[in-house]
Structure 1
Amino acid sequence: MVKLRLQRTGTKHDPHYRIVAANSRAPRDGKFVDIVGHYHPAQIKEQTTFHKEKILTWLKNGAQPTGTVLNLFKNAGIWAEYKTALKK
């Protein structure tokens, strides 16, 4: 199963995360299929960038987001857009 999850990058005490589509059995920082965004939580205002088209494509193909990634998608409005696309 493919999951949309965070992959930690950056240095000690300054984490950066990639939002990746990866096999659920792969290690957290291991192989991934596609990069769909970035998340930097340590900034005063959290910085997130998303490739919305890629994310919606992965979700429509059955990829499952993890809890944290789901919350990021909800805050950005991507999850609501995906749900309305499903109803059509």
Structure 2
Amino acid sequence: MVRIRLRRAGVRNKPSYRMVAADQDSARDGRFLEILGHYNPRDEPATIVVDEARMLHWLGKGAQPSDTMARLLGVVGTMKRFDRLKAGEPLEGLLAEAALAAAQPAVPAPRAARPNKKTKAAAAAALAAAAAPAA
């Protein structure tokens, strides 16, 4: 089975990744079929570049994205465009939309901050003050 996944590139402690179509059994940095884009998480914001036509081609052939790749493809909108392609929209229109979207930087959503004791206490005090009747 063909998987679309990340292949590590870059030097020690400075990772960047290539998006590749590879056989499921090949090693992480081993043999691959085609390079489909690249991802650099070290940039601010992270750089995600996808060859949309080839990505849609491999998805159409039945290639399965890894969990991380599915998240990245969701960020740039490729998975939504693939669903629309399966529904019958023409490929040319989707590729034009992808080119327009590629001109704007894709910014992954920031992770939600985990609340600490102070923010929990402040939220509880605000709820208690709102719930108390005004006398």
Which TM bucket (shorter chain)? over 0.9
Runs of 4+ in 1 over 6 A off after TM superposition: none
Match of 1:64 in 2: 64
Match of 2:77 in 1: 77
Deviation at 1:87, TM superposition (A): 1.3
Match of 1:36 in 2: 36
Pairing 1:19-58 to 2, within 5 Å after superposition: 19-58=19-58
Match of 1:18 in 2: 18
**TM-score (normalizing by structure 2):** 0.64
CA distance in 2, matches of 1:79, 1:64: 11
Deviation at 1:67, TM superposition (A): 0.5
Deviation at 1:44, TM superposition (A): 1.5
CA distance in 1, matches of 2:43, 2:85: 32
When Rg is computed on C-alpha atoms for both structures, the one with the higher figure is: 2
**TM-score (normalizing by structure 1):** 0.98
Deviation at 1:39, TM superposition (A): 0.3
Q: Which structure dedicates a bigger proportion of its chain to helix?
A: 2
Deviation at 1:43, TM superposition (A): 1.0
Amino acid corresponding to residue 11 of structure 2 in structure 1: T
Gaps of 5+ in 2: 89-135
For 1:18, what is the secondary structure of its paired residue?
strand
Q: Which structure dedicates a bigger proportion of its chain to strand?
A: 1
CA distance in 2, matches of 1:7, 1:46: 16
Gaps of 5+ in 1: none
CA distance in 2, matches of 1:78, 1:17: 18
RCO greater where, 1 or 2, for CA within 8 Å and sep 6 or more?
A: 1
Q: How many residues align?
A: 88
Name the % identity: 35
CA distance in 2, matches of 1:62, 1:16: 26
For 2:58, what is the secondary structure of its paired residue?
helix
